[in-house]
Amino acid sequence: MFVLRLRHWQTFLLLFTLPFLLQHGLLWLLDALQVRPGRFGTMLLDALPATVYVLWLWLVGSWLFRRLPQSIKITPLYFHLGNLYIILYTLVFVYTLALARDNMATATLPFGMLALLVPMHLFATFCYLYAVYFVARSLVSVEKQLLVQTGEYLKTFIFFLLLPLGIWFLQPRLRKLYLSES
C-alpha cells in the first residue's frame, strides 16, 4: 500500500493539496486553451477532491479490516456500500449544483430535484459518519488487538472527522502499523 508508507506531510500533500491543485490547474488550462469542459467534465473536476478523500478512507478501512483480530466478527458490507454511496452522491450533488447554478439566471430552479437532494444529503452524511466510525474503531482495534469500546476510539474518530488536521496524527499510526507488518 503506497499511501500507508507515506509520512504525514506527504499524505497531506497527496490527499488534500494535489487534488485541489489538479482541479484548479486543469480548469485554468482549459480556460487558457479556450476549451469548455461541459457540464460532465466540470462535474468530475468539482467532485475530484471529495472523491480522493473518500477513496483514501475506503482504502484505509479495507486494509484495517483485513488486519482485525479473528475474535472480532464484523462485516464490512455497510462500510463498502456507504463509501460507494458517498462517491455516487458526490457526483449527483455536484451535478445538481451545476444545474441549479445554470437555472438561477432563468429563474427555473428545479425545486423537486432540490427537495430530493435533502434526504439524499442526510443519508450521505450518515454514511460518512459510519465510514469514519468503522475506520476509527478498526484502527484502535488493530492497534490493541481487541474489540474496543466507544471511549477508546473517540479521539481517533474526531481526528478522522477533522481532516485535514487529523492526518498529522493519524498517518504516523497507520504508517507504524504498515511498517511493523512488512
**pLDDT tens digits, one per residue of 142-177:** 999 999 998 999 999 999 999 889 999 999 999 999
Q: How far is CA 16 from CA 11, 52, 98, in A?
A: 8, 8, 23
107 dihedral zone (left: phi>0; alpha: psi -120 to 50; beta): left
Supply the range of the domain harboring residue 17: 2-181
Cα–Cα distance measured from residue 64 to residue 142, given in angstroms and rounded to the nearest whole number: 7
Domains of the chain: total = 1
pLDDT value at residue 171? 95
Three-state secondary structure along 80-110?
A: HHHHHHHHHHHHHHHHHHHHHHHHHCCCCCC
Higher pLDDT, 81 or 40: 81
DSSP 57: H
pLDDT at 36 over 90: no
Task: Could you list the beta-strand ranges (E) of 82-170.
Answer: none
43, 91 in Cβ contact below 8 A? yes
72 dihedral zone (left: phi>0; alpha: psi -120 to 50; beta): beta
135, 64 in Cβ contact below 8 A? yes
Residues with Cβ within 8 Å of residue 57, at least 6 apart in sequence:
83, 131, 132, 135, 160
Q: What is the pLDDT of residues 86-145, one digit of tens each?
A: 999 998 888 887 777 777 666 666 677 778 888 999 999 999 999 999 999 999 999 999
Kindly report the pTM of this predicted structure: 0.88
Q: What is the pLDDT of residues 9-19, one digit of tens each?
A: 999 999 999 99
75 dihedral zone (left: phi>0; alpha: psi -120 to 50; beta): beta
Closest CA to 51 of 106, 105, 94, 13: 94
* Three cell numbers written together for 138: 478498526
Cα–Cα distance measured from residue 178 to residue 182, given in angstroms and rounded to the nearest whole number: 7
